[in-house]
Amino acid sequence: MKLWLAPYAPNPRRVTMFLAEKGIGEEIEKTVLALPEGEQRQDAFREKSPLGQVPCLELGDGRILTESRAICTYLESLYPEPNLMGRDGFERAEIEMWDRRAELMFSMPLMLWVRHGSPLLGKVELNQNAAVADYYRDGAMRMAVWFDGLLKARPFIAGDRFTSADITVLAGMDFAKMMRWRPGEELPHLKAWRARMAERPCGQTPP
Ligand SMILES: N[C@@H](CCC(=O)N[C@@H](CS)C(=O)NCC(=O)O)C(=O)O
């Protein structure tokens, strides 16, 4: 299998963190694209990933998957242990619920804040808009408070064990370092969770 990714890109990092937690990071061939140079928009790559986005996974038989969560779902089926996405129907749905909340309401707003607000992303987000950056920052900060409250009563995003939902939150939060944001004393539970994540295989993966 081949995986296309890019440095500092949070969605491919969801996959590399997932691989790290499975302990199979070395088993997949990786190709690194330079997003600021527009390599993701070149025809050869678009034939694989029509939206010109990473991550992109190509199987040995040439079949392609894009979308970070879909790639993780497939990898979970190949490498079921340690389980990161649920063991039975209810648990799978519950983890998906938390993963989608994490992605849609927190990590994606964080990513859009960075895309629209960081001068370093000007060659990737070609329509940067400061008002859009502010809008998503405010939404993400409201959700940071919500997740902080959640983590007061549980050790992980989806409950009492580490899952793909933790990876999704971590990917967004680490990307937001580009805006010099990280949870501080005002978000003690999110800050403590981040410190725990740093000790895990996912926390050791390069940005
Ligand atoms: N929903 C997709 C989003 C993929 C995505 O936005 N990838 C970014 C990097 S994090 C990208 O390839 N951007 C290239 C561009 O915008 O030109 C996923 O979860 O994989």
Q: Which of 108, 186, 182, 183 is nearest to 140 (CA)?
A: 108
**Which pTM value belongs to this model?**
0.97
Residue nearest to atom 2 of ligand 1 (CA): 67
Instruction: Tell me, yes or no, whether 205 lies in a domain.
Output: no
Residues 107-115, mean pLDDT to the nearest whole number:
98
Helices 164-175 and 68-78, axial angle in degrees (round to 10):
140
Dist CA 54 CA 203 (whole Å): 20
Q: Is 84 within the bounds of a domain? A: no
Alpha carbon nearest to ligand 1 atom 13, residue: 53
Residues 161, 95: contact at Cβ < 8 Å? no
* Whether residues 193 and 105 fall in one domain: yes
**Atom in ligand 1 nearest the alpha carbon of residue 53:** 12
Neighbours of 50 (CB within 10 A): 11
CB atoms within 10 A of CB 170: 25
Report, as an integer, the average pLDDT of 146-150. Answer: 98
Which domain, by its residues, includes 55?
2-78
15 and 37 fall within a common domain: yes
Q: Are 141 and 93 in a shared domain?
A: yes
Ligand 1 nearest-atom number relative to CA 49? 12
Same domain membership, residue 98 and residue 186: yes
- Report yes or no on 122 lying in a domain: yes
Give the binding-site residues of ligand 1, using a 6 Å CB cut-off: 9-11, 35, 40, 52-55, 67-68, 124
Pick the last residue of a domain from 25, 47, 78.
78
- Mean pLDDT in the chain? 97
CATH number of the domain where residue 105 is located = 1.20.1050.10
Phi and psi of 85, rounded to 5°?
-130, 15
pLDDT tens, residue by residue, 12-71: 999 999 999 999 988 899 999 999 999 999 999 999 999 999 999 999 999 999 999 999
Above 90 in pLDDT, residue 207? no
How many domains does the chain fold into? 2
SS (H, E, C) 63-87: CEEECHHHHHHHHHHHCCCCCCCCC
